[in-house]
Structure 1
Amino acid sequence: MDLELRHLKTIRAIADAGSLTRAATVLGLAQPALSAQLKRIERALGGTLFERGRDGVRATALGDLVLDRARVVLPAVCELQEEAVRFARQGAGGYRLGGTHGPLLGGLVDRLARTEPGAQVTTYTSWSEREIARGVAAARLDFALVGVCGESGPPEAGRLAWTEVARDPVHVMLAADHPLAARAEIELAELAAEAWSDVPGDGCFGDCFAAACARAGFTPACVYETDTASCVHLVQVGRAVGLCRATFPATPGLVTRPLAGTPLVWRHLLGWHPEGRAAGRAAAVLAHARAAHTDALTRSAAHTPAPSPDRAVPVPARASGAVRASGAGRE
């Protein structure tokens, strides 16, 4: 016999009632039928759950273990049922969004919440563009907001419909006191001796960056692959430089500058299942995503003016040392 939720409810009812007789009354069963059911449950779990006595029943050590789990599982299942009912009643009015890390997902959520205040908007984030796309293909998500470099194809291209939200030149992210920070644009080759910071991902951006470096005449040595906050910190203290999208938000202690000749391009994409429940709303969501991109650009570090060479910029002290790394921050 497989353990079911109704069995956990039975065990909890017996423990709460303190006797089989009272539990049978609560459950609407005859006492012999409840006793027989309890024996089947105990056989399935491999041991006695309650000790019987003149004053009722008392949980054994195994019974306490099962009760502890039941007190977690049963409320969680109840909450799941309630949330599912709310979601089903809401129907096509809800939005399940998946995205990689960056400002566009938050901007899209904000715009949907403002224009449709009654709609439920849920989000799921991952470093993996493929994981997000699989979630849409499996109907766990309605829309995927991800990116690819250059003309690379999106994940799940044969199953999902994809539309370009925007395309941005990739910028370099520098400490505000970096010797090149005052430049309007920077040649990639001028950064050959730098360390680089990177964020995780399963796309081809790392390969595209390595190819761009090869065309510029150098090969990056290694990579600091870490979360966005750590990448920013490494740049702020001068331990590394990084690459970022033009939508990267303005951040104290660093600047972003275009790379001369635009050796790398980032394409923001919106994907959905053409036969999914959200397909009819794709045009509206795409318009919101494009507006969120425009908003992100106006707040981005790319709009930060270059500091005057004769004016000091207050930033954290730059780190010393000859540690080198390579990579391409995709934020």
Structure 2
Amino acid sequence: MELELRHLKTIRAIADAGSLTRAATDLGLAQPALSAQLKRIERALGGALFERGRHGVRVTALGELVLERTRVVLPAVTELQQEAARFARAPRTSSVLRLGGTHGPLLGALVDRLADAVPDARVSTCTSWSERELARLLAEGRLDFALAGTCGSADPPGAAGLVWQEVAVDPVFVMLAAGHPLAGRAELDLAELADAEWACVPGDGCFGDCFTAACARAGFTPRRMYETDTAALVHLVQVGRAVGTCRATFPTTPGVITRPLTGTPLTWRHLLGRHTVTQGDALATTVLAQARMAHAGVAARSDSYTAWLSARRDPAPPALP
């Protein structure tokens, strides 16, 4: 029998699980079938890889040697597969530009700007709530660029070869029904919303934890959080069921207003990601510049955001004696 990659994965699974029973469960095999396969592998390698005992298996010296090689071979093969996928999926000409992004106005604004900045390119888009999924699509060569984000100073989604550059940093605002008792205020303290139920869009970053921590600093625990799509979030806010969290660039919506929080307890960092293998610096510089201008345009269309920015650029003059 010739040794194959699946055999190395089996050895690794048994070592990680510490017993044939648990490894069989992880691999979706019956234990007798896994035992028989292990015996064939051991015959091919010339000796026992594991010593069986009452409490599981223990790796032999030969097993340690083989496992050491699997730690090199398996990641190398995975990297080879990813590189091949990126190469196969990368556009052969500049006629296609594949953009990914989380849901929001920034992606549409970037597409609009790129129509003029890169007039020969056909732009396609892919949206996802998951920043990790966008990173995976970049790593696999299925996207050229991705607009994602992180809460505050959190690290961006990680994958080998990815580069993330900052587009802008927004405060996180709250979204209220137009008839909410606090709707007339220019700015709200988070503690004033201690009795509210909350709604936000889903994500796989740390925003939920950061929001809970901000509420704790304000002296309360959120009563309930609805994680839902944008349309349902807006509805929950419009009917007064919940107060929403949103980026400051959230577009004007009938029956809904957005307001900043005192002290800006939460921020959102917009990022543009690419893979260094599939995209070079020249196009990346153009797309990043257009993304930053797209963000500025989106921000300018939000009355509450422009008022917030103006208040920070033009502080009130000191009171006269």
Bin for the TM-score computed over the shorter chain: 0.5 to 0.7
2:175 corresponds to 1:173 = yes
RMSD: 2.2
2:107 corresponds to 1:105 = yes
Where does residue 125 of structure 1 map in the other structure?
127
Where does residue 261 of structure 2 map in the other structure?
259
Change beyond 3 A, Cα 1:182–1:263: same
Q: CA deviation at 1:279?
A: 4.2
* SS of corresponding position for 1:92: coil
1:216 and 1:295 map into 2 onto residues whose CA distance is 33
1:239 and 1:301 map into 2 onto residues whose CA distance is 24
Where does residue 288 of structure 1 map in the other structure?
290
Which residue of 188, 191, 194 corresponds with 1:192?
A: 194
Where does residue 220 of structure 1 map in the other structure?
222
Q: CA deviation at 1:286?
A: 0.4
Q: CA deviation at 1:199?
A: 1.4
Which residue of 125, 144, 147 corresponds with 2:149?
A: 147
Which residue of 234, 248, 257 corresponds with 1:232?
A: 234
2:127 and 2:287 map into 1 onto residues whose CA distance is 18
* SS of corresponding position for 2:166: strand
Letter in 2 for 1:179: P
For structure 2, the residue ranges without an aligned partner over 5 or more in a row are: 1-87, 309-321
1:194 and 1:159 map into 2 onto residues whose CA distance is 43
1:289 and 1:239 map into 2 onto residues whose CA distance is 34
Where does residue 69 of structure 1 map in the other structure?
none
For structure 1, the residue ranges without an aligned partner over 5 or more in a row are: 1-83, 307-331
Give the TM-score normalised by the residue count of structure 2.
0.65
Relative CO higher for 1 or 2, CA cutoff 8 Å, sep ≥ 6? 1
Change beyond 3 A, Cα 1:163–1:305: closer
Aligned residues of 1:200 and 1:226 also touching (Cα < 8 A): yes
Give the TM-score normalised by the residue count of structure 1.
0.63
Change beyond 3 A, Cα 1:279–1:124: farther
2:307 and 2:110 map into 1 onto residues whose CA distance is 27
Equivalent positions of 1:280-319 (< 5 A) are 280-300=282-302, 302-303=304-305
Aligned residues of 1:137 and 1:156 also touching (Cα < 8 A): no
* SS of corresponding position for 1:152: coil
Q: CA deviation at 1:302?
A: 2.1
The structure with the largest alpha-carbon Rg is 1
* SS of corresponding position for 1:170: strand
2:190 and 2:269 map into 1 onto residues whose CA distance is 20
2:215 and 2:108 map into 1 onto residues whose CA distance is 32
1:121 and 1:213 map into 2 onto residues whose CA distance is 41
Which residue of 135, 138, 145 corresponds with 2:140?
A: 138
Equivalent positions of 1:47-126 (< 5 A) are 88=92, 91-126=93-128
Q: How many percent identity over aligned positions?
A: 65
2:290 and 2:116 map into 1 onto residues whose CA distance is 11
**How many matched pairs?**
221
Where does residue 249 of structure 1 map in the other structure?
251
Aligned residues of 2:188 and 2:261 also touching (Cα < 8 A): yes
2:208 corresponds to 1:211 = no
2:139 and 2:289 map into 1 onto residues whose CA distance is 22
Where does residue 185 of structure 2 map in the other structure?
183
Equivalent positions of 1:5-44 (< 5 A) are none
Change beyond 3 A, Cα 1:240–1:304: farther
Change beyond 3 A, Cα 1:225–1:201: same
Aligned residues of 1:247 and 1:301 also touching (Cα < 8 A): no
Aligned residues of 2:196 and 2:223 also touching (Cα < 8 A): no
Aligned residues of 2:199 and 2:228 also touching (Cα < 8 A): yes
* SS of corresponding position for 1:172: strand
Deviations 1:28-82 (A, max 9, x none): xxxxxxxxxxxxxxxxxxxxxxxxxxxxxxxxxxxxxxxxxxxxxxxxxxxxxxx
Q: CA deviation at 1:93?
A: 4.0
1:259 and 1:250 map into 2 onto residues whose CA distance is 18
1:270 and 1:245 map into 2 onto residues whose CA distance is 16
1:107 and 1:263 map into 2 onto residues whose CA distance is 27
Aligned residues of 1:255 and 1:301 also touching (Cα < 8 A): no
Deviations 1:216-262 (A, max 9, x none): 11111322221100100111111110111111001111111110000
1:293 and 1:103 map into 2 onto residues whose CA distance is 9
Letter in 2 for 1:237: V
